[in-house]
Homo-oligomer: A and B are copies of this chain.
Amino acid sequence: MTPIPLTIGEAAVASGVSAKMIRHYEEIGLVPKAARSPSGYRHYRDADIHVLRFVRRARELGFSMKEIAALLGLWNNRRRASADVKRLAMKHVADLDARIAEMHAMKRTLERLASHCHGDERPDCPILDDLSGATR
């Protein structure tokens, strides 16, 4: 019943983080250095997989590496205040909002320009006119 540790490839499958990225996360200090077998192979236990999954999930939610480092710190700190976690999350929501608004503005502009473009064989095109600075 000794828990057999996983190799990095198995850990990648188990966590959903590529082996490349696991090494990278270790290198930049986001996750602790993995234990090594006598021959130098990294090996991973349940707790390590857990951390990797945490990182993957946070990436899926769009957190930056710095934010994830902070989240991992809070996760590992049993005396954290949930307010700190919430603040970090809401800050990220605000960032998302800003980026969404920016892209939405681009989208609106493009749709407006495209709606005036006949989109046929003729060369004249309000989209290019806008880009070239005409009539602005």
Contact = CB atoms under 8 A, between A and B. Distances in A.
Interface of A: 50, 53-54, 57-58, 60-62, 71, 74-75, 77-83, 85-87, 89-90, 92-93, 96-97, 99-100, 103-104, 106-107, 109-111, 113-114, 117-125, 127-128, 130-133
A105 to B, nearest CB: 9
Contact of A50 (B53, B90, B107, B133): B133
B57 A130 contact: yes
Q: Which of A50, A78, A86, A104 has the most CB of B within 10 A?
A: A86
B131 A83 contact: no
B128 A62 contact: no
A57 to B, nearest CB: 5
Contacts of A77: 123
B119 A62 contact: no
